[in-house]
Amino acid sequence: MTGNWMDDPAVAHISKSKLDFLQSLVFESQSLTKEQMMPFFMAIAKRGMDNHISFSKDEVEIITSTIRKYSTPEELDKIDKLTKLIKR
């Protein structure tokens, strides 16, 4: 991802702890295969609950659109695939 999406004004109102949580997930998930993604999401959901981190629908939409602004075409493709997987 080019630039630092966490510094974008669109996400300035979202807590730093939430953004840091997401950034760590991005790094952890980079080398996962499609088959590894669902167990990873389950583990992430538990980690979020354990740390009392949750996102509103608006926060998810803002974060997603912001990340997309800073993504390469390859990353955009991966985001699209993940979004489809999550919506199932």
Would the CA dihedral through 17, 28, 48, 87 be positive or negative?
A: positive
| Residue 62: C-alpha distances to residues 9, 18, 35, 55, 82 (Å) | 11, 13, 27, 11, 16
Q: Is the pTM of this model over 0.75?
A: no
pLDDT digits (tens), the chain, 88 positions: 555 888 999 999 999 889 888 888 877 877 888 788 788 888 888 998 999 999 998 998 899 899 889 888 988 888 887 777 767 6
